[in-house]
Amino acid sequence: MKVGIIGSGGREHALCCSLKKSNNIEEIYCFPGNAGTNSIAKNIDIDLKNFEKLKDYIIKNKIDFIIIGPEKPLVDGIVDFLEKFNIKVFGPNRIASQLEGSKIFTKKLCEKYKIPTAKFGIFSSIKPALSFLKNSNYPIVIKADGLAAGKGVYISENYSEAYVAVKEIFNGKFGKAENLLIEEYLDGEEMSFFIISDGKNYKMFGTAQDHKRVFEGDRGKNTGGMGAYSPSRLETDELNQKIINKIIEPTLRGLKDIKCEYKGFLYAGLMIINGEPFLIEYNVRMGDPECQTLLPKLKTDFSMIIKKCFEQKLGDLNIEWHKDKSICIVLCSKGYPDTYKNNIALNLKKIDLKKNQFIFHAGTKILKNEIVSNGGRVLNIVTMSNDLKLARENSIELLNRINWKNGFYRKDIGYRVIQ
């Protein structure tokens, strides 16, 4: 089979590597991919906004199915578009993608189906938002409504910080803003919970804990993700069941009630408070870097899982995982998540990997036969081991050998679980 992957990050390189292991896959195409996918797949440079051109290429090259990595094309309706041409696409349609694309859609669903989440208010202009904030308890959370690459969320400690947040959102820092959300601050521990769904059946697809803040000790600005480990230290059978009963099932029921079947990965970003799960957000895709942390642990042939999803027979399959834990550290360009330089060379030629160690490329490309940086998050260093401390040490040792002078990374990924 020929498969196409949409996206260019570490998540997409990890997806490529998992598919590459399967005997069923004869060719992988990556749209547009990065320097890592380039060595195992065909990178095709088509603008992801140009659905027409993507569709033409997929049909012309007889690609059997497509997996969508990032949220933007999903929210823009790429699945609905490609399916009109009988192309098999793994990912949710435009309506289901509102779970990520519109925080207000999700909050309303939570209200209707009694899904535990932070109390919230929706504001459509500056004045009422500010007068609400004058009389609020702090910290408080302020969010832009649409997609903002993980950066449209402010945790404000006082009124003057909240004032800046409201102004920035309504002044269009994250695109045109018609609404913002003001939310109660949930004080607990975060957990990422994944399922894979074929529209009729779904299965759990692991848990992870992600570190979104840029600096050690979870300080500084929010980023796309600085590292993750799996499984989350909070995971227990009892908590999994609560998450399924209180959050996942009512969400899927809510979608069914509007005649929408959920197909694809679904990622619930949760806050766990005294053993109880609260939904912070949904993402309609795998997490990045959680995907890179999780996929190496997968024992079952990934292409088989996707095939079963297209047949809507996921229920027949037992998804198996390696017992080892895994940790991912993200090597970033200095300056991320603000401004940084691109096109800085990375020397990966003499880098040997230990057993159960992987380098997934994120923001990289090939320039004049050399691998250079091409984004804020550049490489993902993953190590699997039964001992997370050792896994982290081995990832850091590898980062020391890579010794990229333009980069930085967090040395404390997994600190909550590693003594």
When asked if residue 227 is in the footprint of ligand GLY (CB under 6 A), the reply is no
Among 222, 251, 283, 380, binds ligand GLY (CB under 6 A): 283
User: C-beta of 65: minimal distance to ligand AMP in Å?
Assistant: 29
Q: Which is nearer to ligand GLY, 183 or 290 (CB)?
A: 290
Q: Look at residue 287 and give the partner it binds from ligand AMP, ligand GLY, none, a contact being a CB closer than 5 to 8 Å depending on partner kind.
A: ligand GLY
Q: Look at residue 225 and give the partner it binds from ligand GLY, ligand AMP, none, a contact being a CB closer than 5 to 8 Å depending on partner kind.
A: ligand GLY
Contact (CB, 8 A) for 186 and 118: yes
When asked if residue 186 is in the footprint of ligand AMP (CB under 6 A), the reply is yes
Among 287, 296, 375, 376, binds ligand GLY (CB under 6 A): 287
When asked if residue 118 is in the footprint of ligand AMP (CB under 6 A), the reply is yes
User: C-beta of 394: minimal distance to ligand AMP in Å?
Assistant: 27
Among 11, 107, 212, 246, binds ligand AMP (CB under 6 A): 212
User: C-beta of 115: minimal distance to ligand GLY in Å?
Assistant: 19
Contact (CB, 8 A) for 121 and 136: no
Q: Look at residue 250 and give the partner it binds from ligand GLY, ligand AMP, none, a contact being a CB closer than 5 to 8 Å depending on partner kind.
A: none
What are the C-alpha distances in Å from 293 to residues 225, 231, 232, 244?
Answer: 12, 9, 11, 22
When asked if residue 145 is in the footprint of ligand GLY (CB under 6 A), the reply is no
What are the C-alpha distances in Å from 36 to residues 8, 112, 227, 323, 339?
Answer: 9, 44, 18, 27, 23
Q: Look at residue 290 and give the partner it binds from ligand AMP, ligand GLY, none, a contact being a CB closer than 5 to 8 Å depending on partner kind.
A: ligand GLY
When asked if residue 190 is in the footprint of ligand AMP (CB under 6 A), the reply is yes
Q: Compute the distance between CA of residue 391 and CA of residue 417 in angstroms, rounded to an integer.
A: 12
Contacts with ligand AMP in 255-284 (CB under 6 A)? Answer: 269, 280-281
When asked if residue 222 is in the footprint of ligand AMP (CB under 6 A), the reply is yes
When asked if residue 337 is in the footprint of ligand GLY (CB under 6 A), the reply is no
Among 4, 10, 150, 277, binds ligand GLY (CB under 6 A): 150
Label each residue of the chain as H, E or C: CEEEEEECCHHHHHHHHHHHCCCCCCEEEEEECCCCHHHCCEECCCCCCCHHHHHHHHHHCCCCEEEECCHHHHHCCHHHHHHCCCCEEECCCHHHHHHHHCHHHHHHHHHHCCCCECCEEEECCHHHHHHHHHCCCCCEEEEECCCCCCCCEEEECCHHHHHHHHHHHHCCECECCCCEEEEECCCCEEEEEEEEEECCCEEEEEEEEECCEEECCCEEEECCCCEEEECCCCCCHHHHHHHHHHHHHHHHHHHHHCCCCCEEEEEEEEEEECCEEEEEEEECCCCCCHHHHHHHHECCCHHHHHHHHHCCCHHHCCCCECCCEEEEEEEEECCCCCCCCCCCECCCCCCCCCCCEEEEECCEEEECCEEEECCCEEEEEEEEECCHHHHHHHHHHHHHHHCCCCEECCCCCCCCCCC
Among 35, 67, 147, 153, binds ligand AMP (CB under 6 A): 153
Please count the residues of this chain forming the interface with ligand GLY, following the rule CB under 6 A.
Answer: 7
Q: For 399, phi and psi rounded to 5 degrees?
A: -65, -35
Q: Look at residue 30 and give the partner it binds from ligand AMP, ligand GLY, none, a contact being a CB closer than 5 to 8 Å depending on partner kind.
A: none
From 73-81, 111-119, 286-294, 295-303, span contacting ligand GLY (CB under 6 A): 286-294
Q: Which is nearer to ligand GLY, 143 or 307 (CB)?
A: 143
When asked if residue 100 is in the footprint of ligand AMP (CB under 6 A), the reply is no
Q: Look at residue 288 and give the partner it binds from ligand GLY, ligand AMP, none, a contact being a CB closer than 5 to 8 Å depending on partner kind.
A: ligand GLY
Site track for ligand AMP across 65-94, x = CB under 6 A: ------------------------------
User: Which residue ranges make up the site for ligand AMP (CB under 6 A)?
Assistant: 118, 141, 150, 153, 155, 183, 185-186, 190, 212, 222, 269, 280-281
User: Which residue ranges make up the site for ligand GLY (CB under 6 A)?
Assistant: 150, 210, 225, 283, 287-288, 290
